[in-house]
Amino acid sequence: MVHHTTNLQEIFEKLIQLAFEDGLITEDEQRLLDGIQLKLDELEKAIEEALIDHYLSAEEEHILKEKRSEIMDEAWRIVTSDNVITQDESILVKALINLLRHIQLTS
């Protein structure tokens, strides 16, 4: 049996809290959060589909790793789109990297 041990909504809520630590979510931070949320939703759907049969195949594991990678790719695309990476964006991306490391699928 396979268990999904990380709540992706909790990851997103931690990112929102981090973005709001200074009392303001900037336009750049909001664009980044919006992009991350879309990709986290895609990962959540892929996890749910992979776990329907309570077995994580090698192909499903590969797909989930790709989805996790797509989250980082999208974050990077967003923060570099204006050719300026703000300190706030940098903090969020570093936190995202750390949080994504904690996504666990265990049997």
Chain-centre distance of CA 11, in angstroms? 7
Residue pLDDT, tens place only, 4-49: 546 888 999 999 999 999 999 999 999 999 999 999 999 999 998 9
Task: Find the angle CA(58)-CA(62)-CA(63) to the nearest 5 degrees.
Answer: 120
Residue pLDDT, tens place only, 43-86: 999 998 988 998 889 999 999 999 999 999 999 999 999 999 99
Structural domain boundaries in the chain:
28-106
Residues 14, 98 contacting (CB under 8 angstroms):
no
In sign, the C-alpha dihedral spanning 74, 76, 77, 78 is positive
pTM of the model: 0.86
